[in-house]
Amino acid sequence: MKKKALIFGVTGQDGSYLAELLIKKRYVVHGVKRRSSSINTGRIDHIYQDPHIKNRNFILHYGDITDSLSVTRLINQIKPDEIYNLAAQSHVQVSFESPEYTANADALGALRILEAIRFNNLEKKTKFYQAGTSELYGLNEKTPQNENSHFHPASPYGVAKLYAHWITINYREAYKIFASNGILFNHESPRRGETFVTQKIVQAMCKIKMKKQKILYLGNLYSKRDWGHAKDFVKAMWLILQQKKPNDFVISTGKQTTVKNFVNLVASHLKMKLKWKGKGIKEKAIDENGKVIVACDKAYYRPLEVNSLLGDSKKARRALGWKPQVKINELVSDMVNMEFKRNSY
Ligand code: NAP
Ligand code: G4F
* pLDDT tens-digit readout, 2-19: 999 999 999 999 999 999
The answer to whether the CB of 160 is under 6 A from ligand 1 is no
What is the pLDDT, as a whole number, of residue 234?
A: 99
Residue 345 is predicted with a pLDDT of: 77
* CB of 179 shorter than 6 A to ligand 2: no
What pLDDT is attached to residue 317? 98
Which is the closest atom of ligand 2 to the Cα of 90? 17
- Read off the pLDDT of residues 170-195 as tens digits, 9 standing for 90 and up: 999 999 999 999 999 999 999 999 99
What is d(CA 343, CA 271) in angstroms, rounded to the nearest whole number? 19
The three-class DSSP label of residue 299 is helix
Confidence of residue 65 (pLDDT cuts 50, 70, 90): very high
133 has catalytic annotation: yes
Say whether 20 is catalytic.
Answer: no
Q: Closest by alpha carbon to 180, among 319, 336, 332?
A: 319
246 three-class SS: coil
For 277-284, what is the mean pLDDT?
97
Q: What is the pLDDT of residue 109?
A: 98
**Nearest residue (CA) to ligand 1, atom 35:** 131
Say which of 11, 133, 168, 253 is annotated catalytic.
133
324 confidence band (pLDDT: 50, 70, 90)? very high
Give the C-alpha separation, 27 to 5, whole Å. 7
CA 25, 26, 30: angle at the middle one, nearest 5?
105
- Active-site annotation holds for 123: no
